[in-house]
């Protein structure tokens, strides 16, 4: 009887375990099915969440199923720019023997985006062993091999993050309003965007178009929603304008909980500062394709855009649609051709100075992700496509460029340096030849002088006066092949003069000149003045500092100074006074010999009577000293070590000058 009872108990436990396993399996399959439903309507963020649930529930023995779910997760992360998570998921798919070898190529793609070029190359090589003729893998391998070299040798473009145009979410696709560079429209998911839903595609609010204006001083003002009816509760953005700025074309992505909806292009007319009701632009009868990222040609005749419609080269291609004259309704539609389009994705067309076509692509060798390319038309049927390289391009997605009319400057968008994959706007400009002078203006033995001013005169007739920044730094543009004289000034200090001769070099050239100003109100140390032991004879090593003092006095001809020599307290008082007097006289003699009037110079030997008072700057070098310490005999004898005592003796043995008058021969 006991045996029968025990058998029933074990049977019940077994049934419970089987039931639990079935329920667990059903739960896993349900999450996968739900993920597939989200994936089918392009809501990759939500799909990834469901796949992740399923992956966590699958046991390590279910390798085949784990590989499939890992692949699906990876695809969601790749399509939402989450390269780090995509990388981990592709690795898991490969680890669990996911059968599609594309996992190796896609792993290479996301490794490029993370900047791991070595591992990216290894992934592409692995894939090419299986599919040696795959062009996109060949492109990826070349990208991995050349990117480091492009980073080491960037072009002359200057790129900076445009904080004045960025919000706290994604901001992208900046576009000047026609030829008006005082207004720029950007696409953004910032909190002020319309609608309350979070997009299952991006995980952010649906994007809207925002306008930013420059004020009379050239500064960008607060970014606000564009006025009118163009923005909706759906995704709106990636816009373009006709040359006169009176018509806006933009992309709208309508979402649907049941069916996938494709991107379409709309247009809105401008009335004063507002945009009218959007009109759908029917480009083709292909309803299973997306039409996005419009750009209007400089002559206003053609609408360029990106589409994955049938008849292209693969992925998204650049197409153009005739919108000029009376032929708009006839629907003249052309592919930009195989010289521009590849098996990869060509997107975000735009026009630069002199009508060159710019676009983003991952189908050419680049630096990773989408890179920006320029297509120069050589003749009516031939284009030369070139990568803009670093720093315009990076290992992330770089796209949506806009140029100020006839200038190689403007803005573009990129998700570089953002772990979330969010896009931000960057400014750029190309200095064809820029020579920059920079440096610091500071007090001798002290700190920066933010009240200082620099005067600059060039032998090309140029004159300028400018202040320094709060940290004492300055930066100014100078012309190639010019000789400049610069004077650094600050109230309460002697002037300091510098000379600069710029080269004829093209491109970016940087020069640096620092201005060290001597105080008028306190003694100034003359560094590196050396005498022979126990004598007043100057050593050759003193020449450099003394020559600098000669120059300082020549640059300040109305100044008279006292040369003061000091000894440490060791030795007899009378002896120290005589030695220090002779040393001060030796310095005066050198200055007179080099052209300084004797009437401007006074020699004074102080012996040990004026021990040094420590200034704050010196405490950074000698941490055992404090500001305003006076190095008396009693102070030095109380120090802990002989080394510290010797340092103080050296500081006391010094030659200084102090300004007596600033009006010498001023009124003659």
Q: What is the CATH number of the domain that holds 644?
A: 3.30.1330.60
Cα–Cα distance measured from residue 196 to residue 308, given in angstroms and rounded to the nearest whole number? 30
Question: For residue 501, what are its two tokens?
Answer: 């001769």
DSSP state of 354: G
Residues 548 and 476 in one domain: no
The pLDDT, as a whole number, for residue 19 is 38
Check if the beta carbon of residue 665 is closer than 8 Å to that of residue 597. no
Residues 297 and 402 in one domain: yes
CA-derived radius of gyration, the chain: 37
Residues 98 and 38 in one domain: yes
User: Do the domain assignments include residue 17?
Assistant: no
**Last-in-domain residue among 380, 396, 429:** 429
**Last-in-domain residue among 152, 174, 206:** 152
Residues 134 and 212 in one domain: no
Average pLDDT of the chain, as a whole number: 89
Q: How confident is the model at residue 11 (pLDDT cuts 50, 70, 90)?
A: very low
Residues 395 and 454 in one domain: no
Closest CA to 238 of 405, 412, 395: 412
User: Do the domain assignments include residue 565?
Assistant: yes
Cα–Cα distance measured from residue 227 to residue 271, given in angstroms and rounded to the nearest whole number? 10
> Rounded to 5 degrees, what angle do the CA atoms 425, 426, 427 make?
130
Cα–Cα distance measured from residue 374 to residue 352, given in angstroms and rounded to the nearest whole number? 9
The pLDDT, as a whole number, for residue 5 is 41
Cα–Cα distance measured from residue 346 to residue 21, given in angstroms and rounded to the nearest whole number? 48
User: Do the domain assignments include residue 573?
Assistant: yes
Residues 190 and 296 in one domain: yes
C-alpha 368: how far from its chain's center?
A: 17
The pLDDT, as a whole number, for residue 262 is 87
Cα–Cα distance measured from residue 615 to residue 631, given in angstroms and rounded to the nearest whole number? 12
User: Do the domain assignments include residue 667?
Assistant: no
Q: Per-residue pLDDT for 483 more than 70?
A: yes
Closest CA to 112 of 413, 306, 398, 422: 398
Residues 197 and 140 in one domain: no
Question: Is the N-terminal amide bond of 391 cis, ω within 30° of 0?
Answer: yes
User: Do the domain assignments include residue 214?
Assistant: yes
Q: How confident is the model at residue 433 (pLDDT cuts 50, 70, 90)?
A: confident
Q: Per-residue pLDDT for 113 more than 90?
A: no
Calculate mean pLDDT across residues 155-161.
92
Residues 241 and 120 in one domain: no
Cα–Cα distance measured from residue 457 to residue 459, given in angstroms and rounded to the nearest whole number? 7
Range(s) of the domain holding residue 484:
433-517
Calculate mean pLDDT across residues 462-481.
92
Residues 15-67: tens digit of each pLDDT: 334 334 444 457 788 999 999 998 988 889 899 999 999 999 888 788 899 99
What is the CATH classification number for the domain harbouring 90? Answer: 1.25.40.10
Residues 248 and 167 in one domain: yes
291 vs 201: which has the higher pLDDT:
291
Calculate mean pLDDT across residues 81-106.
92
Greatest Cα pair distance, the chain, in angstroms, is 132
What is the CATH classification number for the domain harbouring 222? Answer: 2.115.10
Check if the beta carbon of residue 175 is closer than 8 Å to that of residue 231. no
Residues 225 and 370 in one domain: yes
User: Do the domain assignments include residue 361?
Assistant: yes
Q: Per-residue pLDDT for 286 more than 50?
A: yes
The pLDDT, as a whole number, for residue 325 is 66
3 state SS for 170-221: CEEEEEEECCEEEEEEEEECCCCCCCCCECCCCCCECCEEEEEEECCCCCEC
The pLDDT, as a whole number, for residue 313 is 93
Strands (E), 553-641: 560-566, 601-607
Q: How confident is the model at residue 260 (pLDDT cuts 50, 70, 90)?
A: low
Residues 420 and 325 in one domain: yes
Cα–Cα distance measured from residue 188 to residue 170, given in angstroms and rounded to the nearest whole number? 6
Calculate mean pLDDT across residues 644-649.
94
User: Do the domain assignments include residue 22?
Assistant: no
Residues 293-339: tens digit of each pLDDT: 999 999 999 999 999 999 999 899 999 999 986 555 556 899 999 99
The pLDDT, as a whole number, for residue 599 is 94
Calculate mean pLDDT across residues 241-260.
86
Residues 375 and 453 in one domain: no
Considering its fold, how many domains does the chain have in total?
4
Check if the beta carbon of residue 91 is closer than 8 Å to that of residue 107. yes
What is the CATH classification number for the domain harbouring 496? Answer: 2.60.40.1120
Question: For residue 283, what are its two tokens?
Answer: 């480009």
**Last-in-domain residue among 517, 547, 572:** 517
User: Do the domain assignments include residue 85?
Assistant: yes
User: Does this model's pTM top 0.85?
Assistant: no
Among residues of the chain, what percentage have pLDDT more than 70? 94
């Amino acid at each position: 009887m006991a045996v029968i009872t025990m058998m029933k108990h074990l049977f019940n436990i077994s049934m419970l375990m089987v039931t639990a396993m079935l329920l667990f399996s059903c739960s896993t399959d349900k999450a996968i099915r739900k993920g597939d439903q989200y994936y089918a309507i392009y809501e990759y963020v939500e799909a990834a969440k469901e796949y992740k649930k399923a992956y966590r529930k699958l046991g390590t023995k279910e390798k085949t199923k784990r590989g499939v779910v890992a692949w699906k997760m990876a695809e969601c992360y790749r399509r939402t720019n989450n390269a780090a998570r995509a990388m981990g998921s592709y690795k898991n798919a490969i680890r669990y023997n996911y059968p599609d070898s594309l996992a190796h190529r896609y792993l290479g793609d996301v490794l490029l985006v993370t900047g791991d070029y070595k591992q990216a190359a290894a992934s592409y090589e692995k894939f090419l062993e299986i599919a040696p003729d795959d062009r996109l893998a060949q492109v990826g391998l070349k990208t991995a091999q050349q990117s480091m070299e492009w980073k080491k040798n960037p072009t002359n473009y200057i790129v900076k993050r445009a904080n004045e145009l960025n919000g706290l979410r994604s901001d992208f696709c900046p576009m000047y309003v026609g030829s008006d560079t005082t207004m720029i429209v950007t696409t953004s998911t910032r909190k002020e965007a319309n609608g309350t839903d979070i997009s299952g595609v991006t995980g952010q609010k649906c994007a809207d178009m925002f306008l930013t204006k420059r004020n009379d001083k050239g500064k960008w003002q607060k970014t606000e929603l564009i006025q009118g009816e163009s923005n909706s509760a759906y995704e709106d953005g990636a816009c373009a304008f006709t040359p006169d700025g009176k018509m806006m074309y933009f992309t709208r992505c309508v979402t649907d909980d049941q069916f996938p909806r494709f991107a379409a292009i709309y247009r809105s007319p401008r009335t004063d500062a507002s945009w009218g009701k959007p009109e759908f632009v029917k480009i083709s009868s292909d309803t299973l394709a997306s039409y996005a990222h419009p750009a209007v040609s400089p002559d206003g005749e053609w609408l360029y855009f990106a589409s994955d419609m049938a008849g292209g080269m693969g992925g998204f291609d650049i197409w153009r649609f005739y919108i000029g004259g009376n032929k708009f309704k006839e629907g003249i539609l052309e592919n930009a051709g195989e010289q521009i389009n590849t098996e990869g994705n060509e997107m975000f067309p735009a026009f630069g100075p002199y009508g060159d076509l710019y676009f983003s692509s991952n189908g050419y060798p680049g630096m990773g992700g989408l890179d920006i390319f320029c297509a120069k038309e050589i003749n009516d049927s031939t284009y030369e496509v070139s990568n803009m390289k670093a720093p315009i391009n990076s290992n992330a997605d770089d796209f949506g460029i806009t140029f100020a009319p006839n200038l190689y400057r403007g803005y573009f968008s990129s998700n570089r340096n953002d772990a979330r994959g969010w896009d931000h706007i960057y400014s750029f400009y190309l200095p064809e030849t820029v020579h920059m002078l920079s440096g610091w203006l500071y007090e001798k033995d002290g700190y920066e002088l933010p009240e200082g001013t620099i005067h600059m005169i060039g032998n090309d007739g140029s004159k300028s006066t400018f202040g320094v920044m709060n940290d004492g730094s300055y930066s100014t543009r100078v012309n190639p092949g010019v000789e400049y004289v610069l004077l650094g000034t600050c109230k309460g200090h002697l002037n300091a003069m510098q000379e600069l001769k710029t080269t004829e070099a093209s491109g970016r050239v940087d020069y640096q000149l620092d201005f060290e100003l001597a105080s008028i109100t306190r003694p100034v140390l003359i560094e590196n003045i050396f005498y022979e032991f126990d004598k007043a004879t100057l050593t050759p090593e003193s020449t450099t500092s003394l020559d600098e003092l000669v120059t300082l006095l020549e640059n300040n001809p109305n100044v008279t100074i006292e040369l003061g020599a000091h000894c440490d307290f060791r030795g007899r008082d009378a002896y120290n006074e005589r030695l220090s007097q002779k040393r001060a006289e030796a310095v005066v003699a050198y200055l007179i010999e080099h052209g300084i009037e004797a009437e401007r110079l006074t020699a004074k030997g102080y012996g040990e009577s004026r021990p040094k008072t420590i200034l704050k700057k010196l405490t950074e070098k000698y941490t055992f000293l404090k500001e305003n310490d006076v190095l008396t005999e009693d102070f030095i004898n109380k120090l802990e070590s002989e080394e510290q005592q010797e340092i103080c003796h050296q500081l006391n043995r010094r030659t200084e000058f102090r300004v007596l008058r600033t009006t010498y021969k001023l009124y003659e």
